[in-house]
Each structure stands twice: as structure tokens, then as C-alpha cells.
Amino acid sequence: MGAESMQIVLNSVLVLALLGVLFGIGLAVASRKLKVESDPRIDEVEALLPGANCGGCGYPGCRGLAEAIVAGAAPVDACPVNKDCAPIAQVMGVEANCRLPQVARVRCAGGKNETEQRFIYIGVEDCAAAHSLAGGPKSCIYGCLGLGSCAKVCPFDAIVMSDNGLPVINEEKCTGCGLCVKACPRNIITLWPVGKKVTVLCMSHDKGPQVRKICKVGCIACGICVKQCPVKAIAMDDNLAVIDPQLCTNCGLCVEKCPMKTIKGEIKQEREAI
């Protein structure tokens, strides 16, 4: 290698080194001068959030919610997934007034075996699309359409469709984020307090004889459960038994007495179906 080429190498090394030093100084100055003061609590709150970025809270991801909580725009228990909001409340220095943990509950038991199809649906595999076509193919206009829109939106893989065409929720995995609730065009899925086991698995407001015609397990509004319930937790709302989960004591009397087997206790039956 001649002296001339050595000179070229040296020159370039020197120039680059100089540039490096210059930029380094520039960045160091900029990081001081242009520093954006951010509330350190945002990072702390974000670290306490689940980090799944599911969007169930309505904010753009967990960081978005953390910013909202710190700014006071969202309550400390705004994350529906987070089971315990006390640590966040501690960071924020407020009283921990956490909501009860909830899980999604599918309130329809009329699958392929229990109901009939009014017509064969050919088209977009999406419950809302099927629902908009004459109310969907299912004989019951309140029942689950079985196309699995809820399973598709679940970010936690907590919903699978059973062979019977009904969504089965794995309550271990379910975080209660509520995305499936929003995805269901029939409003069948509801968030239910964890630990409250008794649910009426029907959403039909049809009259009893009509329900009997189209579904083997629908609520026929006989009112037996209302009479049986020792704590008056069940009311009849437009031909449908509705349980108030706050009052329900899991005694299971209504489950035993329901002639249509519409009311289920223990979510065991849902687990078995998996």
C-alpha cells in the first residue's frame, strides 16, 4: 500500500471521527435543551397495566390509557382487564375504588342442535353482515348467529366456537375487556361479575309458545324462577327472566326449577363443551 492511499484512509478516518464528535456534542446539547418533561407516573402506570394493547378501555393501547389516567381523564380502574387497580391508585395517590373483575358470558344456549335455520346463509362470514340480512338465518331473531365474530375480535384467545355453533368462553383466559360484547350484533354477550355463577342463557323477548316453537332451550317466561328465588334477584322483563347479579347468591334454586333448562349455574357446562 502506497503512502498516497494511506493518506486517503487517514483523511476519511479523521473526517468521520470529527463528524462523530460534532454530532455527539449536538445530540448531548439537544437532549438537555429540548428535553420534554413527561410525568414519570405515566411510565409507572403503564408498567402496572397488562400491556396487551387490546383497546378494551377505549384508549389507544395501554400507554394511551396510562396518559389518560395520569391526566385525570380516566379513572384508575378504567382498564377492564386489570384485576387489581390498587397499585395504580397508589401511584396516583387516590383511593382505590376498583370495579369488580368481570368475565364475558354468552347468554344464548340455542346452538345448531337446539334451533333451526330459516334459510341457508351464503355470504360474508361475519355476524353483523348476516344479522343485517332479514335478521339472519337462525330461527330465533335474538339468538347467537354462530359465525364467530366474537371469537375473531378476542385478543386473548379466550373464545372458541363449539361444534354446536356457539361461542365458548374460557373464563380463565377471559379478561373482561368487552371487545366481544361490542362485536356481537345481537348483544348476547354481557360482562358478568366473576364469581356470580347463575345466568339466564337466553335473550329472547318472544312469548313462550313462540320460543317453544323455535328453540329447545329458550326462556318461555313461565316465571317459576321469579317465584322460587329466595332473594328476589330475578325479574321478568318483557318475556325474559333477568337476574340481577348483585343480588344473586349462587343458591341454584332457579337452575333446578327452570323447566327449559335455560338457567345455568356453575359455568361447568360451558367448560365441558370445549
Instruction: Give the interface with other proteins as residue ranges (CB under 8 A).
Output: 118-120, 122-124, 126, 128-129, 132-135
Q: Are 113 and 215 in contact (CB under 8 A)?
A: no
User: Between 45 and 183, whose beta carbon lies closer to other proteins?
Assistant: 183
User: Between 127 and 240, whose beta carbon lies closer to other proteins?
Assistant: 127
Question: Which amino acid makes up residue 114?
Answer: E
**Set of cell numbers at residue 133:** 340480512
Q: Which helix (H) or strand (E) holds 193?
A: strand 189-193
Distance of closest approach, residue 106 Cβ to other proteins, in angstroms: 22
User: Between 3 and 120, whose beta carbon lies closer to other proteins?
Assistant: 120
Distance of closest approach, residue 119 Cβ to other proteins, in angstroms: 4
Distance of closest approach, residue 125 Cβ to other proteins, in angstroms: 8
User: Between 84 and 125, whose beta carbon lies closer to other proteins?
Assistant: 125
Cα separation, 239 vs 220, whole angstroms:
7
Distance of closest approach, residue 121 Cβ to other proteins, in angstroms: 9
Return the closest-CA partner of residue 154 out of 135, 139, 169: 169
Ramachandran category for residue 4: left, alpha or beta (phi over 0 → left; psi -120 to 50 → alpha):
alpha
Distance of closest approach, residue 131 Cβ to other proteins, in angstroms: 10
Cα separation, 268 vs 143, whole angstroms:
21
Distance of closest approach, residue 138 Cβ to other proteins, in angstroms: 12
**Set of cell numbers at residue 219:** 326462556
For the chain, give the longest Cα–Cα distance.
104
For the chain, the residue count is 274
User: Between 21 and 133, whose beta carbon lies closer to other proteins?
Assistant: 133
User: Between 122 and 274, whose beta carbon lies closer to other proteins?
Assistant: 122
